[in-house]
C-alpha cells in the first residue's frame, strides 16, 4: 500500500543539503537503526558528501557490512564505494571508556590526568555507569563536529530499552555528578585543612560518617577525589552535556526516528516524536523498516482461505475415489496359485526368463498356461497389456498427481492468507500512528529475506529509502 504523497519522506534533499551537518537515527532497539545509518551514510558519500558514521552497536554489523575487519574509536575509511562524485565514507564505533579517557587527557595536565584515570571511582564510572554510554556518544559527536573534518555526521544511537534514553541519560548523569549529594561529598576535599575540619564539625561530621559507613570509607574518598579533580578540569559535567544538547537543537541537525510496523515500536516512535517536538529538536521524519508487501494484494486472506478449503475438499474426494479404484486393480489384489511369483518377482514385466516360467506346474505342464492351451497368462500377453498401460500413461495424469497439485496449491493459498493478515495488521498499526501524527513524513523500506552483509546490500537499502520502492512491482487488481 502506498503512502499519501504529502507524507512521503524524501531523503535525498536532506542528504544533499550542505547545511545538514548531523543526522541522528534514533528509536527503540531492534528496529534497524544501524543498517539505516550505514545505508544513509553510503548513499550520502556516493552523492558527494564527506561522511562519518558513528555507531554504538556492539553487534559490529556495521563493520561487517562495510568490509572492515573491526571498528574502534578512530574513524576508518571505507573502501569500495563509488567515489566518482568526490565523496568519502568513514565509520567508527564508540569506545565508551576510551572516549572518557580522551576527554580527561584533552582537558587536564599530565599529573591531574593520571590522578583521574587511576581513580577507582572513575574506572567504574567510565566502564559502565548508567547513562555513561549515552553521555559519551554525545561527547564523541561534539568532538567530531568540532574537528570539522567531515561535512556530514550520521549517528546510530545506543541500543536501549527506551528510545528516550538517548536524550535523558546524559542529563541524568550530568545532574547526578553535578548534584547536591556529590557536591556535599566533595566539600571536605575542596575545602581541605582547617576549613575542612570546621566544615565537618557539628552535623556534617555525623552525616559524612554515616555515608562513609554506608558507601565505605575508601569509596567516599575516591568519589571526593574524582569529582574535585574533574570539576576543576571541566567546570561541570552538566555544562558539557548542555553544550552538546544545544548542538542537537541546532538547525544543521536532523533527527530520523526509525521504527518497524509493530505496535510497540510505533508506540515508542510516537513518544519520541512528541518528545522531539517538546524539546524543539529538528525532526525530519520517520523511517519505517521491514514493511511487508505482496504482489497479489488483490487476493484477500478470506478468498485465499476459502479457495484452499475447496481444494482440500476436492483432494479428499479424489483420494476416496482412488482408494475404491485401487481395490478393483488386479495388480494390487493378491493373485491365485502360481501367479504370486509373477506379482512379486522383480522381473515380472518385460522378461521371458523369469523363474516363474521356468518351473513346471504341479500337474506336469511346462508353464503357467491354462489347460486349454491358451496363452492369456503367458509373458507375451502380460507384455502386451503392460505396453498398452505404459502407452496410455502419459496422456492421463495419475490421480495421485492431482492430489499433490491440489494440496500444494492449498498450502500456498494459506501462506498467502497469512501474509495478507500480516499486511492488514501492519496497515492498522501505521494508520493509528498516522492518525496521531498526520504531519510526520514517512519513508518505508520493504522487509528483506535476510540480513545485510555488504555494501551492495546497504546500497539497495539506500535506494529503497530514497525512492520508497515497494517490495514487489505493483500489479493491477
> Sorting pLDDT into bands at 50, 70 and 90, what band is 213?
very low
- The per-residue pLDDT for 452 is 84
Separation of alpha carbons 74 and 441, rounded Å? 34
pLDDT value of residue 350? 46
pLDDT-based confidence at residue 57 (cuts at 50, 70, 90): low
pLDDT above 90 coverage of the chain, percent: 27
Half-sphere exposure of 270 (CA within 13 A, CB side): 17
Q: What is the mean pLDDT of residues 368-388?
A: 47
Cell triple for residue 394? 502419459
**Residue 95: its H or E element:** none
Indicate the SS3 state at residue 55: strand
Report the distance separating Cα 371 and Cα 475, nearest Å.
72
Q: Which residue has the higher pLDDT, 437 or 143?
A: 437
Q: C-alpha cell of 218? A: 575508601
Task: Please write the tens of the pLDDT for every residue from 225-273.
Answer: 776 666 666 655 667 777 878 888 899 999 999 999 999 889 989 988 9
| Residues contacting residue 319 through CB under 8 Å, at least 6 positions apart | 403
Residue 385 phi/psi, 5° resolution? -65, -45
Distance (Å, rounded) from C-alpha 333 to C-alpha 6?
Answer: 73
3-class DSSP assignment, residue 291: strand
Alpha-carbon distance values, 249 to 26, 29, 243, 360 (Å): 15, 23, 10, 104
Q: What's the pLDDT at 185?
A: 54
What average pLDDT does this structure show over 308-327? Answer: 75
Grid coordinates representing 338 are: 502360481
Radius of gyration of the chain (CA): 38
Q: Does the pLDDT of residue 165 top 90, yes or no?
A: no
Place of cell 548542538: 247
How confident is the model at residue 369, as a pLDDT? 44
Of how many residues is the chain composed?
477
277 or 344: which carries more pLDDT confidence?
277
The CA distances from residue 362 to 1, 348, 367, 368, in Å, are: 80, 21, 10, 10
Between 20 and 452, where is the model more confident? 20
Question: Greatest CA span in the chain, whole angstroms?
Answer: 137
Cell of residue 111, nine digits:
599529573
Rounded Cα gap, residues 291 and 208, in angstroms: 58
C-alpha span between 226 and 304 (Å, rounded): 68
CB 186 within 8 A of CB 231: yes
Residue 20: predicted pLDDT: 96
Q: What is the pLDDT of residue 187?
A: 57
pLDDT recorded at residue 246 = 85
What whole-number distance in Å separates Cα of residue 99 and Cα of residue 56? 12
> Residue 118 has what pLDDT?
87
Count of CA atoms in the C-beta half-sphere (13 A) of 38: 31
pLDDT in tens, 97-129: 888 888 788 777 788 888 888 888 788 777 766
Mean pLDDT in the chain?
74
Alpha helices (runs of H) in 192-280, residue ranges in sequence order: 193-200, 203-215, 217-234, 237-249, 263-278
Question: What is the reported pLDDT for 207?
Answer: 44
Q: What's residue 90's pLDDT? A: 95
Measure Cα distances from 66 to 16, 453, 457 in Å: 22, 8, 10
Cα–Cα distance, 114 to 224 (Å, whole number): 16
Cα separation, 364 vs 434, in Å, equals 94
pLDDT tens digit sequence for 395-444: 444 454 445 788 888 889 999 999 899 999 999 999 999 999 999 999 99
Amino acid at each position: 500500500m502506498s503512502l499519501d504523497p504529502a507524507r512521503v519522506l524524501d531523503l535525498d534533499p536532506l542528504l544533499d543539503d550542505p547545511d545538514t551537518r548531523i543526522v541522528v537515527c534514533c528509536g527503540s532497539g531492534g528496529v534497524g537503526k544501524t543498517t539505516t545509518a550505514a545505508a544513509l551514510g553510503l548513499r550520502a558519500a556516493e552523492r558527494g558528501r564527506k561522511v562519518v558514521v558513528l555507531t554504538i552497536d556492539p553487534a559490529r554489523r556495521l563493520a561487517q557490512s562495510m568490509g572492515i575487519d573491526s571498528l574502534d574509536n578512530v574513524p576508518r575509511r571505507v573502501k569500495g564505494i563509488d567515489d566518482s562524485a568526490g565523496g568519502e565514507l568513514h565509520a567508527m564505533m564508540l569506545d565508551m571508556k576510551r572516549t572518557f579517557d580522551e576527554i580527561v587527557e584533552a582537558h587536564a595536565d599530565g599529573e591531574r590526568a593520571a590522578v583521574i584515570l587511576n581513580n577507582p571511582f572513575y574506572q567504574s564510572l567510565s566502564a559502565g555507569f548508567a547513562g555513561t554510554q549515552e553521555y559519551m556518544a554525545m561527547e564523541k559527536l561534539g568532538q567530531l563536529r568540532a574537528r570539522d573534518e567531515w561535512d556530514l555526521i550520521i549517528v546510530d544511537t545506543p541500543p536501549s530499552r527506551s528510545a528516550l534514553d538517548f536524550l535523558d541519560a546524559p542529563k541524568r548523569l550530568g545532574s547526578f555528578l553535578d548534584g547536591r549529594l556529590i557536591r556535599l561529598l566533595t566539600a571536605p576535599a575542596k575545602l581541605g585543612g582547617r576549613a575542612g575540619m570546621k566544615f565537618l564539625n557539628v552535623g556534617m561530621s555525623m552525616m559524612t560518617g554515616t555515608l562513609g559507613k554506608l558507601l565505605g570509607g575508601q569509596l567516599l574518598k575516591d568519589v571526593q577525589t574524582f569529582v574535585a579533580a574533574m570539576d576543576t578540569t571541566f567546570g561541570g559535567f552538566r555544562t558539557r552535556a548542555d553544550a552538546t544538547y544545544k548542538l542537537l537543537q541546532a538547525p544543521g541537525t536532523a533527527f530520523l526516528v526509525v521504527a518497524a510496523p509493530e505496535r510497540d515500536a510505533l508506540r515508542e516512535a510516537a513518544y519520541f516524536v512528541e518528545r522531539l517536538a517538546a524539546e524543539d529538536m529538528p525532526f525530519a521524519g520517520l523511517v519505517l523498516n521491514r514493511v511487508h508487501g505482496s504482489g497479489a494484494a488483490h487476493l484477500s486472506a478470506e478468498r485465499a482461505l476459502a479457495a484452499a478449503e475447496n481444494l482440500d475438499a476436492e483432494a479428499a474426494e479424489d483420494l476416496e475415489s482412488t482408494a475404491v479404484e485401487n481395490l478393483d486393480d488386479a495388480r494390487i489384489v493378491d493373485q491365485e496359485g502360481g501367479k504370486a511369483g509373477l506379482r512379486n518377482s522383480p522381473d515380472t514385466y518385460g522378461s521371458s526368463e523369469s523363474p516363474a516360467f521356468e518351473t513346471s506346474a504341479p500337474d506336469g505342464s511346462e508353464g503357467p498356461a491354462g489347460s486349454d492351451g491358451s496363452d492369456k497368462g503367458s509373458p507375451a500377453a502380460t507384455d502386451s497389456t503392460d505396453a498398452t498401460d505404459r502407452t496410455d500413461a502419459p496422456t492421463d495424469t495419475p490421480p495421485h498427481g492431482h492430489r499433490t497439485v491440489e494440496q500444494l496449491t492449498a498450502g500456498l493459498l494459506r501462506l498467502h492468507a497469512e501474509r495478507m493478515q500480516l499486511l492488514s495488521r501492519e496497515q492498522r498499526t501505521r494508520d493509528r500512528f498516522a492518525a496521531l501524527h498526520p504531519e510526520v513524513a514517512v519513508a518505508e523500506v520493504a522487509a528483506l529475506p535476510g540480513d545485510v552483509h555488504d555494501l551492495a546490500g546497504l546500497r539497495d537499502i539506500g535506494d529503497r529509502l530514497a525512492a520508497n520502492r515497494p517490495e514487489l512491482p505493483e500489479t493491477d487488481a
